[in-house]
Amino acid sequence: MARLKFRIPWPPLRLRLPWPRRRATRDESRWGRIADDTPPTRRRRLLLVAAGATAVLILGATAWGVLKHHPSASKQPPAFDPSNGIIIPVPPRPVPAESDTGNTEIPLYNQPLVLEPAPVDGLTSNSAQGLLPKIGDDGRKPLSVYSRPFAVTDKHPRISIIVGEVGLSNAVTQGAIDVLPGEITLAFTPYTDRLQGWIDNARSHGHEVLLTLPMEPTTYPHDDPGPNTLLTSLPPERNQERLAWTLSRATGYVGLLGLTGSRFAADAESLRPILQSIKQSGLLYVEAATGPGSVAVSLATTIKLPRAISDMLIGESPAAPAINRQLAVLEEIARSEGTAVAVAIPYPVTFQCLAEWLPSLRAKGIALAPVSAVTARQPDR
């Protein structure tokens, strides 16, 4: 019968047995069996090698156990923004804890949520330019159907942050969707070619979505928001056509963001029919272009259009110390007035500052809310 041969990496124990020992065959010695006549010096060398290997295994296992239970081992890896090569820290999901106010009812931060796919039956109408949002026959509005759920009975101060003008840079847009929590609202430019795809992607990550509404600034035409900008020089029907073009670009958004338009927002005659159409479409309006003569907020209040007002533009100075100071001011506004809204410029440094700051809000007794949860909570200005 053929002998089974094994490589044994260390010498076996040599037991004193009652029967005579035999000399290992040539084949057994070649495959690693230690013959009885192996010189003592060689046996000692092999024993030392075996002891060293065992020590290395024990030390490696010990080190692995220590590293596994080290606090840093549970941290999430940072996200990489390919637009400029910086590292953006991914905010950790916090453990529910009692806030400084002694209330544990603040909505948890960064809750995973997939919003309902758009379009929803009954909330669109056909037009020459495409699908337009509308109030359903049953009274449902795109604002309520496409919004991110929020505990509206929550009494804590609320902060809502909108990242504006995403969609032009693939890297920045994907970074905003992936890195920022779903409570952050994303406002997409209507001029991006992949608009519906981006909106679907954002909503699948829990982000509520707005479209930016191109409106005439006081610096027009030097600063031109695009070919479908609402202009004070155009007749109402032409501006309605341009509004319809913007609204038809995609579905699944809750409203419009007026990021430009300091001149158009100051012209009540031009602005009123636009706000009326937004209301009739079942949407909200966010005013971020408020200037000394803007009438957008007062008109929205008069016609009972759901609206929110941006308190600041985060990232005007794209440096971390300046952005962090703005975020501290935003907290103070929320505490003193109950609601604070900000539009953030999509710079990588803005994302980095937000990712570091947002997890701290709940411990401070402040709720991070989508923009749909802060409408009609701010006084006219």
Q: How far apart, in whole angstroms, are the C-alpha atoms of residue 287 and residue 282?
A: 17
Mean pLDDT of 3-21: 43
Residue 308, SS3?
Answer: strand
Element (H, E) at 176: helix 170-179
Give the contacts of 191 (CB within 8 A, at least 6 positions apart): 167, 168, 226
Q: Report the Cα 270 to chain-centroid distance in Å.
A: 36
- C-beta of residue 136 within 8 angstroms of C-beta of residue 123: yes
| C-alpha Rg value of the chain to the nearest Å | 32
Under the banding of pLDDT at 50, 70 and 90, the label for residue 45 is low
pLDDT beyond 90 at 109: no
Q: Where are the domains positioned within the chain?
A: 1-12+21-74, 79-373
- C-beta of residue 309 within 8 angstroms of C-beta of residue 378: yes
Domain 79-373 belongs in CATH node 3.20.20.370: yes
Angle at 278 between CA 193 and CA 247, to 5 degrees: 15
Position 116 scores a pLDDT of: 87
pTM above 0.85, yes or no: no
pLDDT beyond 50 at 377: yes
- C-beta of residue 109 within 8 angstroms of C-beta of residue 181: yes
Under the banding of pLDDT at 50, 70 and 90, the label for residue 62 is low
Q: How far apart, in whole angstroms, are the C-alpha atoms of residue 208 and residue 204?
A: 10
Largest CA distance in the chain: 115
Q: How far apart, in whole angstroms, are the C-alpha atoms of residue 293 and residue 147?
A: 31
Q: How far apart, in whole angstroms, are the C-alpha atoms of residue 320 and residue 357?
A: 11
* Long-range residue pairs from 336-339, CB within 8 A, at least 24 positions apart, any chain: 337/378, 338/157, 338/158, 338/377, 339/157, 339/158, 339/159, 339/160, 339/374, 339/377, 339/378
Q: How far is CA 77 from CA 30, 72, 274, in A?
A: 50, 10, 45
Under the banding of pLDDT at 50, 70 and 90, the label for residue 6 is very low
Tens-digit pLDDT profile for residues 271-324: 999 999 999 999 999 999 667 789 999 999 999 999 999 999 999 999 999 999
Tokens of 31: 């495959």
Query: What DSSP assignment string belongs to 232-291?
Result: TTS-HHHHHHHHHHHHTT-S---EEEE-S-TTGGG-HHHHHHHHHHHHHTT-EEEE----
